């Protein structure tokens, strides 16, 4: 990634570094905080980590219409008890709960609450960890919509799409791993950690499809399906490689032109993997409002502004309960779980990233909650959302 920083951004950071410690702002009618003169070359995880905390938390119960495809409304006009929501936002600003950077709430199709804290900026893409996997699944779904893959192709072996791999080197069973199994963390790839560290010291053999060939060469033999669920980077890497193989041009350009541009998402970053392809396990950066757009796309069964970007059948499978452990399920890089409030359970579809990037969709409540953070644990965010936000929307 290009991590160069423009002079204007350096100047803005220098000025922001002089502000006083965080103070509370109960409600804001002005514009959300920004980094000035931002361009795509300025977006990086390294720069984000150096952003000074905001002098004041921005808490708005009437978000601005930015003409970005997101309808807006007012919290107090939606039949919602706003007091606990604002109180929770103040507690976040005070540092009582965690180190949240943004919290956005969409209810009944309108953005009715928008807040930024600490490193949060309305125009600065926040680094995304494992929720990048969820975006990768949507990119593959877009390829299905455009006819580069069919839904039936998801049940075909990954190797049927990766023609540059020397299959004579692969462990037994590698040719049985399907695209759907990879997206459900069921590839069965198992590589010893010491061996994995050794392989990372030989980056030349991990370029292009060599990355997947290496996984499949040095894995333990692949067991017959169904295989145990294992959350690992090999599986989303296979998915990105399949996308690269089937779309015209590159996966990077396809994601930009066919998935993001139709939704008006242009201010983002996506790091390159060692293979040369976009990272798929982590490594993207998106604005909080654009994360909300992904949630809108999923809750509308793949439609954006009336256009079917992703097949509804794909969305159904991607967010389905394909692998279940206790009350948590996994589809195609999207999670599904029951959020409990006062003894009642509410179905929640989510994209999740370590440290606190979340898109939480609760269909029964017609609710989407987006958060970004730099926590050490994501569990706190889920628990706090259930305890402090959901009761305001339960009649």
Residues 191-244: tens digit of each pLDDT: 988 888 888 888 899 999 999 999 999 999 999 999 999 999 999 999 999 999
pTM over 0.85, yes/no: yes
pLDDT in tens, 235-289: 999 999 999 999 999 999 999 999 999 999 999 999 999 999 999 999 999 999 9
Q: What is the pLDDT of residue 24?
A: 36
CA-based end-to-end distance of the chain: 47
Any idea which residue has 């060939």 for tokens? 213
Q: What residues contact 240, with CB distance under 8 A and at least 6 apart?
A: 136, 251, 273, 277, 278, 279, 280
> Hey, what CATH topology would domain 131-285 get?
Beta-lactamase (3.40.710)
Domain ranges of the chain: 7-127+292-393, 131-285
Spatial separation of the C-alpha atoms in residues 82 and 89, rounded to whole Å = 11
Spatial separation of the C-alpha atoms in residues 298 and 316, rounded to whole Å = 9
- Domain 7-127+292-393, CATH among 3.40.1800, 3.40.50, 1.10.3470, 3.40.710: 3.40.710
Of 129, 4, 115, give the one whose Cα is nearest residue 54: 115
Domains 7-127+292-393 and 131-285 in one fold? yes
Residue 97 pLDDT class (50, 70, 90 cuts): confident
């Amino acid at each position: 990634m290009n991590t160069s920083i423009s002079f204007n951004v350096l100047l803005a950071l220098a000025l922001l570094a002089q502000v006083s410690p965080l103070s509370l702002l109960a409600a804001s009618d002005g514009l959300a905080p920004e980094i000035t003169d931002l361009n795509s070359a300025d977006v990086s995880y390294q720069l984000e980590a150096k952003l000074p905390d905001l002098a004041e938390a921005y808490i708005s119960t009437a978000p601005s219409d930015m003409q970005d495809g997101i309808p807006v409304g007012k919290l107090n006009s939606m039949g919602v008890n706003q007091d606990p929501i604002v109180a929770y936002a103040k507690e976040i600003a005070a540092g009582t709960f965690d180190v949240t950077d943004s919290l956005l709430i969409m209810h009944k199709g309108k953005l009715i609450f928008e807040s930024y804290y600490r490193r949060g900026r309305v125009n600065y893409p926040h680094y995304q960890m494992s929720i990048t996997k969820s975006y990768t699944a949507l990119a593959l779904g877009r390829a299905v919509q455009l006819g580069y893959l069919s839904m039936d192709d998801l049940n075909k072996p990954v190797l049927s799409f990766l023609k540059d791999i020397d299959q004579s080197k692969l462990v037994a069973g590698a040719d049985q791993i399907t695209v759907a199994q990879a997206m459900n963390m069921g590839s069965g790839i198992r590589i010893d950690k010491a061996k994995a560290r050794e392989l990372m010291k030989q980056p030349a053999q991990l370029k292009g499809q060599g990355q997947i060939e290496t996984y499949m060469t040095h894995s333990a033999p692949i067991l017959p399906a169904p295989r145990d669920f294992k959350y690992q980077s090999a599986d989303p890497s296979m998915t990105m490689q399949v996308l690269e193989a089937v779309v015209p041009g590159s996966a990077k350009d396809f994601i930009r032109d066919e998935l993001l541009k139709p939704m008006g998402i242009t201010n983002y970053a996506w790091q390159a993997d060692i293979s040369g392809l976009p990272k798929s396990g982590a490594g993207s950066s998106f604005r909080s409002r654009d994360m909300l757009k992904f949630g809108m796309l999923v809750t509308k069964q793949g439609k954006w502004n009336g256009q079917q970007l992703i097949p509804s059948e794909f969305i159904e499978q991607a967010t389905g309960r394909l692998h279940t452990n206790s009350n948590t399920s996994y589809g195609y890089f999207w999670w599904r779980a029951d959020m409990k409030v006062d003894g009642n359970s509410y179905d929640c579809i989510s994209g999740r990233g370590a440290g606190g990037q979340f898109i939480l969709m609760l269909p029964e409540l017609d609710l989407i909650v987006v958060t970004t953070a730099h926590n050490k644990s994501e569990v706190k965010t889920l628990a706090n959302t259930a305890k402090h936000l959901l009761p305001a929307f339960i009649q």
